[in-house]
């Protein structure tokens, strides 16, 4: 009597794990929990799957992060542009402009190399620097040297970074997620209970008059799915080449626990779908 094979669930990444459990969920829905006689377990499985999806989101890259990074690049470039123009003015033939440029240059140097600072530190330094440049006597120098637009652009982009970072903090605070590792442990337990239940009921049914026909489609589908997952994990672990050297070839009829390496890879079997 064929049974659903056992394999190590922790070996999958969060994304692979969620996809696998989603496939299990969809297959149970297709076969129906009633026919598989796992209704209470399936209800628990469904609830944990929702929580798992919610928990894994915390590991996904925030859309605000991209915006912050781009705004940071923009303000860095604006600062470099302002600094470059000031450096050029140091060689101006107009002695008054040269003198004013030196004073502005000195103020910028006092703040150090802001381009290599952390996001928060850079935000603070640029804010203070702009505030200094907008006060007397520097505002007069900036106006005289024609740097007003560049300074305003730098100030605006700096405020954009600060605002986006505050939004990200608020977003994370308002969307606290469960620890995905803990939710996975709960899911592991319910998944194993489902597998044990189906295997036990199929074994009992196999010696009865009706046979295990109600369970076989699910068992076959699960083993095919597990086979493909193990194949993907073996490829990622770099075990495929070792298996070729040893001359081992695994198939769906082999124990899935031994399926750490095998040949015969094709793109059709390399996904995580049933």
| Whole-prediction pTM | 0.50
Is the separation of the CB atoms in 19 and 272 below 8 Å? yes
Q: What is the pLDDT of residue 113?
A: 93
Q: What is the pLDDT of residue 258?
A: 37
Nearest to 20 by CA among 52, 60, 58: 52
Q: What is the pLDDT of residue 60?
A: 54
Tokens encoding 110: 């006092």
Q: What is the pLDDT of residue 107?
A: 96
Is the separation of the CB atoms in 177 and 59 below 8 Å? no
Helix (H) and strand (E) counts for the chain? 11, 0
Q: What is the pLDDT of residue 53?
A: 87
Nearest to 21 by CA among 43, 59, 52, 44: 52
Cβ-based neighbours of 121, under 8 Å, separated by 6 or more: none
Mean pLDDT in each 10-residue stretch from start to end of the chain (274 residues)? 86 88 96 95 95 73 80 96 96 95 96 93 96 96 96 96 89 67 93 96 86 91 93 75 51 38 32 44
CA distance 209 to 62: 56
């Amino acid at each position: 009597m064929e049974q659903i094979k056992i394999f190590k669930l922790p070996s999958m990444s969060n994304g692979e794990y969620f996809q696998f459990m989603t496939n299990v969920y969809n297959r149970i829905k297709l076969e129906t929990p009633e026919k598989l006689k796992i209704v209470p377990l399936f209800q628990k499985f469904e609830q944990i799957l929702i929580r798992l999806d919610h928990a894994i989101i915390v590991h996904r890259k925030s859309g605000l992060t991209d915006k912050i990074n781009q705004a940071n690049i923009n303000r860095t470039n604006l600062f470099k542009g302002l600094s470059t123009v000031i450096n050029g003015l140091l060689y101006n033939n107009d002695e008054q402009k040269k003198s004013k440029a030196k004073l502005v240059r000195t103020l910028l140097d006092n703040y150090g190399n802001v381009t290599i600072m952390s996001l928060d530190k850079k935000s603070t330094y640029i804010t203070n620097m702009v505030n200094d440049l907008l006060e007397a006597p520097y505002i007069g120098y900036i106006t005289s040297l024609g740097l007003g637009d560049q300074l305003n652009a730098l100030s605006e982009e700096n405020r954009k970074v600060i605002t986006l970072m505050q939004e990200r903090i608020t977003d994370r605070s308002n969307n606290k997620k469960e620890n995905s590792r803990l939710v996975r442990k709960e899911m592991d337990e319910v998944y194993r209970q489902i597998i044990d239940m189906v295997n036990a009921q199929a074994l009992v049914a196999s010696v009865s008059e009706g046979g295990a026909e109600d369970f076989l489609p699910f068992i076959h589908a699960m083993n095919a799915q597990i086979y493909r997952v193990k194949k993907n994990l073996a490829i990622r672990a770099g075990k495929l080449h070792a298996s070729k050297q040893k001359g081992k070839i695994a198939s769906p009829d082999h124990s899935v626990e031994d399926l750490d390496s095998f040949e015969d890879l094709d793109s059709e079997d390399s996904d995580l779908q049933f």
